[in-house]
Amino acid sequence: MSKNYQQYRTPNASNWEGRATEHTDAYWYQVIQLMDAACFWEGNFSNKPSVGLLGYACDEGVRRNLGRVGAVDAPIKVRERLGKLAYHGSAQQPIDFGDVCCVAGDMEGCQQDLAEIVTLMLSRSISPIVIGGGHDIAYGHFLGINNFLKTKQPDATIGIINFDAHFDLRPVEQQPNSGTPFNQILSEFKQHVNYFAIGIQQSSNTKKLFEIAKNNGVGFVLNYDCNKNQTSAIKEQLSGFVSQHDYIYLTIDMDVFSSAFAPGVSAPSALGIDPFFFFEVLQFLLTTKKVISCDIAEFNPTYDIDNTTANLVARIVDFLFLNYR
């Protein structure tokens, strides 16, 4: 490659397989384009609008946070399930750019590689969907978005909307981890970024974390309010938040869902949200046309049951692709 990453894994066709069919565009595995990230430096990539999948094969942040590891294997598993889904077409081409990987516990290096590739994707009119990995994905992903906007629109404001049972606002003590990314972002970029969380659970966040959220002007919706009866009110809240920002960075932690729908996560909970509420709110956010980049974090294949969580992640990626920009 023209760029020396700490470790980069090129996309693999064996991760995209499905049933045989006489039609050439019936399933995702038939239409996905595989591309080495070297194309960004070799000058052989056109700026045709497309959606790019990029894996963040890292759960070092979860390990540092004393969570149960396994999310490192999520990017490959999601591709396997996504490839089998029926493809319903889009004006944009789906492209798999492979994975950035964590080597020898160097999470910070992996985040920097992620940031650089996200910046390049955005500069080539590619809408990123990044598949983690731990929620430390958010810090590297945000750096990539911010670095892109610094050259395009330096005064742009970014709203972060996080579907999550946790604030992930812990202060960095010895090392950053999967529980610190939004504290890092707000501390470093407070002048042009704000944060809103959906699905927060009181039992999973200490009083100190609620205090940190309050002191940083963080908006949030508790998990008990994430139901069909409250959808209109939540959309109204989000509409106000979105209108205050030029761009929205959307991040989805799979532990926001009830373990009935997503057992394979780093920190499962029986009292999470349901997919129907989620997809209605997600569609509303995508129709604003302000979402600049998305990621999905904390899917842990090690603890999945009958591919339940993997299939849900694949459906989210498919939905994002069909409704992105």
pLDDT in tens, 250-269: 999 999 999 999 999 999 99
Helix, strand, or coil (residue 211): helix
pTM of the model: 0.96
Of 42 and 164, the structure prediction assigns the larger pLDDT to 164
Percent of the chain topping pLDDT 70: 95
Where do the domains of the chain lie, and which CATH numbers do they carry? Answer: 8-323 (3.40.800.10)
Range name among 129-133, 266-270, 283-287 with the lowest pLDDT average: 266-270
In this prediction, residues 125-134 reach a mean pLDDT of 96
Element (H, E) at 213: helix 207-215
Read off the pLDDT of residues 178-222 as tens digits, 9 standing for 90 and up. 999 999 999 999 889 999 999 999 999 999 999 999 999 999 999
HEC-encoded secondary structure of 123-143: HCCEEEEEEECCCCHHHHHHH
In this prediction, residues 228-246 reach a mean pLDDT of 97
3 pLDDT band, cuts 50/70/90, is low
Q: Quick check: 18 and 84 in contact, CB under 8 A?
A: yes
In this prediction, residues 14-20 reach a mean pLDDT of 92
Find all residues with CB under 8 Å of 90, minimum gap 6, and list them: 51, 321, 322
Q: Where are the alpha helices (DSSP H) in 52-193?
A: 60-64, 74-82, 107-123, 137-152, 181-189
Find all residues with CB under 8 Å of 12, minimum gap 6, and list them: 34, 98
Of 46 and 54, the structure prediction assigns the larger pLDDT to 54
Strand residue runs (E) in the chain: 8-9, 33-34, 50-57, 93-101, 126-132, 158-163, 193-200, 219-222, 247-253, 291-297
5: pLDDT strictly greater than 80: no
What is the model's pLDDT at position 20? 85
300: pLDDT strictly greater than 50: yes
What is the model's pLDDT at position 218? 98
92: pLDDT strictly greater than 90: no
Read off the pLDDT of residues 95-124 as tens digits, 9 standing for 90 and up. 999 999 999 999 999 999 999 999 999 999
133 upstream amide cis, omega within 30 of 0 = yes
Region label for 27, one of left (φ > 0), alpha (ψ between -120 and 50) or beta (otherwise): beta
What is the model's pLDDT at position 24? 84
22: pLDDT strictly greater than 90: no
What is the chain's mean pLDDT, rounded? 94
Percent of the chain topping pLDDT 90: 87
Phi, psi of 295 (to 5 degrees): -145, 165
13: pLDDT strictly greater than 70: yes
Q: Quick check: 283 and 315 in contact, CB under 8 A?
A: no
2 pLDDT band, cuts 50/70/90, is very low
Rounded CA-CA distance 195/176 in Å is 19
Element (H, E) at 31: helix 28-31
In this prediction, residues 260-288 reach a mean pLDDT of 96
